[in-house]
Structure 1
């Protein structure tokens, strides 16, 4: 094979790789973003008018604050609660030789123990409470000190839990990952996310229940892997923005004039086909998935937001996404559907015909 043929073969190979890459990644756009682009462009093509996002130049629309598709998570420094550690002198430490609490104390004071992950720290504090309770029974001579430490540990445990929920890398990923939107949601993803959030809340409400470190890490990993809260929050923000801009633009077009005597023109018929192809068949199913996820997880977000040990900024994030942002999406969806219903009624056509 000569050099020219080899160069041509390499060129073909490179083109195939590039084509496959563009197919897989959609030129850098998510499927939902591309669907909205195509929807708006096809509407513009039918009307022979450029699509321009004028929703924010309209004073009425401008007064509506639409959520952002970029999730901004509070800083770890802001969210982290400093946990007060009870002081114990050397004499008290060695007096606990009949109890495993001194082993836990020694572990905590190693370099590794002083830099525990939030999940490891929660497991440690939980073990410490159980150990102190056993020691209190075994060593009545030291019961006063031990019970005092138990009381201190019980007081701080909810704040250790708050650090687990707010500052674990897995939960940060679940609540703030900016890499994806919903395209379709499996029942398994919803169930696993619901189960993981329920598990974290269960830790708070039943602090005496036994804990498996393996189970805790598994639930955290599920949240991080699926990151369903972040995907749904970004999706509802994108839907609110694009539906609002599309509806605003459509209202600026003289579409109702194209149905003389209540009869649809050919152009309106073409618009109906575009509406069916993109909104009914592609956008609305995403909205159905979004609603399904929201109504399943919303009670858990609400319960989390009511836990006063969690930082105000974290609770505000949950409330904004669970109520304000979702309401903005619902409003945009309702207004878009209402516009088409009014147009189709005026033109005596059905979107299903």
Structure 2
């Protein structure tokens, strides 16, 4: 009974492991099968970088310190006619001093709204309130930047290293787009203070799916492993397997391996990666161009987003072109190939 239990447990663990690392496992099988056909060990050099793990910029270095304006006790008590003094008091509690970025962002917006109301209720303090309002309006973009780049939810969405990608449902893609759109709009639309429940809901959805991180990790492993595979194949002198333009048995086997693994398993994931990237790319471009965000964060988004995707596409293209050239030399009709 114990032996049966441990066997079943091992199978479950193996299945879970393969499911979570499906694309990596598939490419490794692809490499092994090619090597077996050629009776040559697959000994391509490992990549010089480990970009499969998304290395997010240091959170400590991303935090913008927001300095509050100086206000003496007399001025504080003079504000009793409006709700501003209540906000100040809440901020100075132990809980208020440790607000997460989302709560702090909403607090800063509430202060701006409160200052506008106080100017109407207390015109005799308009000079003080105008100075304070100017200070808070200047600080609001910094609070927004902290929300975007230092929230636990957004860090998880952009750098979660636990999953690879195989496909995205229409719901998953829609919620990710909606969340990113909402967060970007929050910086440009100073209306009434955002709804806390709404903001937290979008952050939660973004973190739960972590679709950017999944697609970025997947395109990284495909890029690195296909580049390794293509370089290794180029050293095998396979043109010698097509004497007088006729394919040898090995080349015929290679075509079957190529079809089974690349065409039927890897390429469909690539098509899904393309679909998701083109849907999310406008948001990545806006984030990487936003001057209020830290340069290291913007470089991270750009490197993983458009630049990472271009490098992934080039790896796909180079790999497909290798097989197209070989099949043409061997007078074999290529299987449906798409280098994009």
Q: Shorter chain as normaliser: what TM range?
A: over 0.9
Indicate whether 1:48 and 2:39 are aligned: yes
Q: Which moved further from structure 2: 9-18 or 69-78?
A: 9-18
Query: Separation in 1 of the partners of 2:192 and 2:119?
Result: 19
Indicate whether 1:82 and 2:65 are aligned: yes
1:84-99 alignment to 2 at 5 Å? 84-99=67-82
Query: Aligned to 2:60, what secondary structure does the other structure show?
Result: helix
Tell me which of 224, 234, 239 is aligned to 1:241. Answer: 224
Indicate whether 1:13 and 2:5 are aligned: yes
Query: Separation in 2 of the partners of 1:247 and 1:221?
Result: 40
TM-score normalized by the length of structure 2: 0.95
Contact 2:180 2:283 in 1 (8 A): yes
Gaps of 5+ in 1: 1-8, 57-64
Q: Which moved further from structure 2: 105-114 or 67-76?
A: 67-76
Provide, for residues 118-163 of structure 1, a one-character-per-residue CA deviation record: whole Å limited to 9, x for no partner.
0000111111111111111111111221121111110110000001
Query: Separation in 2 of the partners of 1:352 and 1:328?
Result: 24
Query: Separation in 2 of the partners of 1:281 and 1:209?
Result: 51
Q: CA deviation at 1:66?
A: 6.3
Contact 2:281 2:305 in 1 (8 A): yes
Indicate whether 1:225 and 2:216 are aligned: no
Q: CA deviation at 1:67?
A: 6.6
Q: Which moved further from structure 2: 208-217 or 66-75?
A: 66-75
Gaps of 5+ in 2: none
Q: CA deviation at 1:54?
A: 3.9
Query: Aligned to 1:267, what secondary structure does the other structure show?
Result: helix
Provide, for residues 310-329 of structure 1, a one-character-per-residue CA deviation record: whole Å limited to 9, x for no partner.
11111111111123322221
TM-score normalized by the length of structure 1: 0.91
Contact 1:67 1:237 in 2 (8 A): no
Q: Which runs of 4+ in 1 moved over 6 A?
A: none
Tell me which of 15, 32, 36 is aligned to 2:23. Answer: 32
Q: CA deviation at 1:29?
A: 6.7
Q: CA deviation at 1:90?
A: 1.3
Q: 1:337 to 1:97 in 2, by over 3 A?
A: same
1:55-134 alignment to 2 at 5 Å? 68-134=51-117
Tell me which of 160, 175, 195 is aligned to 2:143. Answer: 160
Contact 1:132 1:150 in 2 (8 A): yes
Equivalent pairs, count: 336
Provide, for residues 70-93 of structure 1, a one-character-per-residue CA deviation record: whole Å limited to 9, x for no partner.
111111110001001011111111
Provide, for residues 255-292 of structure 1, a one-character-per-residue CA deviation record: whole Å limited to 9, x for no partner.
11111221222211111110000000111111111111
Contact 1:55 1:244 in 2 (8 A): no
Contact 2:106 2:193 in 1 (8 A): no
Name 1:181's counterpart in structure 2: 164
Q: Over the residues paired in the alignment, what is the CA RMSD in angstroms?
A: 1.7
Query: Separation in 1 of the partners of 2:244 and 2:3?
Result: 60
Contact 1:67 1:325 in 2 (8 A): no
Query: Separation in 2 of the partners of 1:187 and 1:348?
Result: 41
Tell me which of 8, 23, 37 is aligned to 2:15. Answer: 23
Contact 1:67 1:240 in 2 (8 A): no
Contact 2:110 2:193 in 1 (8 A): no
Q: CA deviation at 1:210?
A: 4.0
Name 1:273's counterpart in structure 2: 256
Q: CA deviation at 1:14?
A: 2.2
Query: Separation in 1 of the partners of 2:49 and 2:227?
Result: 9
